[in-house]
């Protein structure tokens, strides 16, 4: 993953993706760079529009993550709201007995 991260960092900084620059980024991060892996990644990214790839890949993940989390959070929030309403009703009933 660190190789992909180095490519993304260089892309975000507006730098041209080269083996030397990727090696420098990896070295700065404390990773021993494998020149073969760098060349393979550069070859794989040669015809890829990175901005477009990021847009198309990030949307489904965000959408896919929302329903599961929302489905689990909704019942818990609903239960908490019901508990608060019941407590509030009990409090109001107790005040009513004071003024009887």
pLDDT (0 to 100) of residue 96: 55
Query: What is the share, in percent, of the chain residues with pLDDT greater than 90?
Result: 45
- Give 45's contacts (C-beta < 8 A, 6+ positions apart): 7, 17
Q: Give the residue with greater pLDDT, 86 vs 7.
A: 7
How far apart are alpha carbons 51 and 58 in whole angstroms?
11
Helix then strand count (H, E) for the chain reads 4, 0
> Among the CATH numbers 1.10.599.10, 1.10.3720.10, 3.30.390.50, 1.10.10.1410, which is that of 2-72?
1.10.10.1410
Q: Give the residue with greater pLDDT, 68 vs 83.
A: 83
Average pLDDT across the chain, whole number: 79
pLDDT digits (tens, 9 = 90+) for 9-49: 999 999 999 999 999 999 999 999 999 999 999 999 999 99
How far apart are alpha carbons 17 and 7 in whole angstroms?
7
pLDDT (0 to 100) of residue 57: 77
Per domain, the residue ranges of the chain are: 2-72
pLDDT (0 to 100) of residue 84: 72
């Amino acid at each position: 993953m660190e190789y992909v991260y180095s490519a993304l960092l260089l892309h975000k900084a507006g730098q041209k993706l080269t083996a030397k620059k990727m090696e420098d980024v990896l070295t700065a991060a404390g990773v021993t760079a494998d020149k073969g892996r760098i060349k393979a990644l550069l070859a794989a990214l040669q015809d890829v529009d990175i901005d477009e790839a990021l847009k198309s890949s990030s949307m489904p993940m965000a959408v896919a993550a929302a329903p599961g989390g929302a489905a689990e959070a909704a019942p818990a929030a609903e239960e908490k709201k019901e508990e608060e309403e019941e407590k509030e009703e009990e409090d109001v009933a107790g005040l009513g007995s004071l003024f009887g």
